[in-house]
Amino acid sequence: MRERIAGLFNLRREEIAPVLVAAVFFFCILTALMMLRPARDALGMERGIESVRWLFIGTALATLLVNPVFGWLVARFRRLHFISATYGFFVLSLVGFWALLQFAPGAVGERSGQVFYVWFSVFNLFVTMVFWALLADRFSSEQAKRFFALIAVGGTLGAIFGPWLASRLAGPLGTPNLLLVAGLFLTLAIALAWLLVRMRPDRGQATGPATALAEEAVRIGGSAWAGARAVFSSPYLLGIAGYVVIMTIVATFIYFTRLQMVAAAETDLDARAGLLGSIDMWTQVAVLALQLTLTGRIIRRLGLAFALALLPIAMAIGFVGLAIYGSFAVLILLEATNRAVQRGLTRPARETLFTVVGREDKYKAKAFIDTFVYRAGDVMGAQTEGLLGRLGLALGGLVGVVVPLAVVWAALGLWLGRAQGRRADAPAAAPGTHA
């Protein structure tokens, strides 16, 4: 059976157990996130669309403030300890929010709802960033190209299971207790992180259990702000940051266009909400299909460059179609395409880029890119979309911004894919160096 599974998913026998543990690890994270996400979105929309733009700014500032704290943890503690501390902090935060809802419901108001929105947005980025950073540290570039998409299946299943579990438990347990359930999944994720480190897969090197434990005992060191400095001093990391910024700007355009269309709909709002729910479900099915069948083959045969350039091309075509037809159906198709390609293909490819950088950059520079840079892209997208709306340019103005951005975005993807290949083939750089 193990031989058949290994052959089906292009795994070596000794890789099956670590890949399975990593997939369950990601399942637990996404289950916790998706159980709480509906509450975050509902709180964010309480004061209208314009308030969401300001919450994006608050989230970006919060991620900037949290980054040096995370960098300090990475510098001072061993890998499993700072990972446990990060997840443990969010578990304790969930317990704190639960206590507030349970014992002082009268204190819950508009301001505390905004605090939860910003907290969740930071939580969402950090727990997924730490997961992928650990994977980039645990697996080689060649392994990442073969099975990062397969591991991502665990996250997709968690994204489906989380809302379903929340709907089942909200009645008998009550909404506040869902926070504790999410905390239990995060606690399980900590245990799985420890297990994944202890199950070090063969990376084609002489790395036995003793070597793995010796590596785990070494602190990464460096300064709290090393991640930000590394990004601005390395063309490769700066290229990844640019790719992420453009990706989030375009995704934010889609998000606010969706909000505008839904808000403008005066009739059949319930039917549209039901349609959006169905589209979300089918999008997850499309993501699963990509992850299980095509993603690994596309990355291996056509390369990272193609995988990274596909999403920009698809988004440029989609926005042109949206400007021409301007229909709700085209928007839904555009959003579904963005989610399916981004989660099923682009995300595994983008995470593979970090397998060829130093250990310090895997955690500190990646944290800066995946949190602050990501949220900065959200802010730029939200403010640009708002400005175009105030100028009366609407969809036509968005297309005028998206198409040039997509050209730069695709060019960055092609360059990054080729640069990653050169780095993977080159001798390992000295620890702590940036290129």
CA angle 361–353–28, rounded 5-degree value = 85
**For residues 369 and 391, what is the distance between their CA atoms, to the nearest angstrom?**
31
**Contact of 10 with 299, CB cutoff 8 Å:** no
Residue 431 lies inside a defined structural domain of this protein:
no
Domain containing residue 60: 2-425
SS3 389: helix
Tokens representing 50 are: 């314009």
Torsion angle of alpha carbons 385, 330, 260, 347, nearest 10°? -60
- Integer CA distances (angstroms), 413 to 207, 229, 252, 295, 402, in order: 33, 22, 19, 16, 16
- Give the chain's domain count: 1
Tokens representing 271 are: 């039917």
Q: Give the CA count within 13 Å in the CB-facing half-sphere of 393.
A: 12
Selection from 28, 48, 69 nearest residue 372 by Cα: 69
Selection from 421, 415, 363 nearest residue 136 by Cα: 363
Burial classification of residue 328, based on how many CB atoms lie within 10 Å of its CB (0-12 exposed, 13-18 middle, 19 or more buried): middle
Residue 69 lies inside a defined structural domain of this protein:
yes
**For residues 391 and 261, what is the distance between their CA atoms, to the nearest angstrom?**
18
Torsion angle of alpha carbons 271, 272, 274, 277, nearest 10°? 170
- Residue 112 is predicted with a pLDDT of 65
Residue 434 lies inside a defined structural domain of this protein:
no
**For residues 267 and 248, what is the distance between their CA atoms, to the nearest angstrom?**
31
The count of residues in the chain is: 435
Per-residue pLDDT tens listing for the chain (435 residues): 555 555 555 677 778 889 999 999 999 999 999 888 766 655 555 555 566 677 778 888 888 899 999 999 998 888 889 999 999 999 999 998 888 877 776 665 566 667 887 888 888 889 999 999 999 988 888 888 888 888 988 988 998 888 888 888 877 887 778 889 999 999 999 999 999 988 755 544 444 444 455 566 677 877 778 888 999 999 999 999 999 999 999 988 887 777 667 666 545 545 555 555 556 666 677 777 766 766 666 776 778 888 899 899 989 998 888 888 877 777 777 877 788 788 878 888 899 999 999 888 999 999 999 999 998 998 898 888 778 777 666 666 778 888 899 999 999 999 999 999 898 877 654 444 454
- Residue 329 is predicted with a pLDDT of 73
Contacts for 366 with CB less than 8 Å, ≥ 6 apart: 129, 132, 133, 136, 227, 354
- Residue 204 is predicted with a pLDDT of 46
Residue 194 lies inside a defined structural domain of this protein:
yes
- Residue 352 is predicted with a pLDDT of 92
First-to-final CA distance of the chain: 43
Residue 22 lies inside a defined structural domain of this protein:
yes
| Residue 226 identity (one-letter amino acid) | A
**For residues 284 and 277, what is the distance between their CA atoms, to the nearest angstrom?**
11
CATH code of the domain containing 214: 1.20.1250.20
Residue 186 lies inside a defined structural domain of this protein:
yes
The counts of H helices and E strands in the chain are 18, 0
Token pair 């994006």: residue: 56
**For residues 421 and 131, what is the distance between their CA atoms, to the nearest angstrom?**
23
Residue 433 lies inside a defined structural domain of this protein:
no
Residue 419 lies inside a defined structural domain of this protein:
yes
Q: What is the pTM of this model?
A: 0.82
